[in-house]
A and B are shown apart, each in its own frame.
Chain A
């Protein structure tokens, strides 16, 4: 079991999630965030923080999004930790509206 960030984070990167992570398990690139499954403790604190519901516990991942488990593990291993909130991407508000949140 782990918790994963999925495609809704792309073009958003709100980073609300990182402020409540008890173990600094978020990593990021310019596009989105990823969770390091080796560090995440599955507490679920980040899940309700995401304004666009990009984060899922593995057991609750919607059909078709399973690939994100592997992507999170691979990307997180090679990217820096993000543990402080930063400004969302300039496209974030438009994307949020587009996603219906």
Chain B
């Protein structure tokens, strides 16, 4: 496995572009925020997730870290923003499965769901880097739980 296979161009592009970067105030009915830290390197992300009805209406984040962590957050934002809650849950689960696959590709259905995020398949071969790739996804999952809770609170 070469270095180039891990740092695929799509990962480098996302690391540079940083979709969703900027911790703007969200206006969605349900809102959640999560701060996650990778204690071994000090990398951190703060992510806000807005939920309207059945949709992940908005994702905003600020953070710093390695190219893998930054690209992963960017891909997540692009993939999940505007999708249904069910799709969001399935995408998170698919990405976790990809990270646990030790570098093997997943089935077609889950890879379709992951889109650009399948480029992270090589990361699964480097146990020390999996937590870099998962940092933003953990923040998203946590913020989404809060956003759902607050959305339910608002409609109850």
Is B a genuine binding partner of A? Answer: no
Task: Show the binding face of A for B, using Cβ within 8 Å.
Answer: none
Task: Show the binding face of B for A, using Cβ within 8 Å.
Answer: none
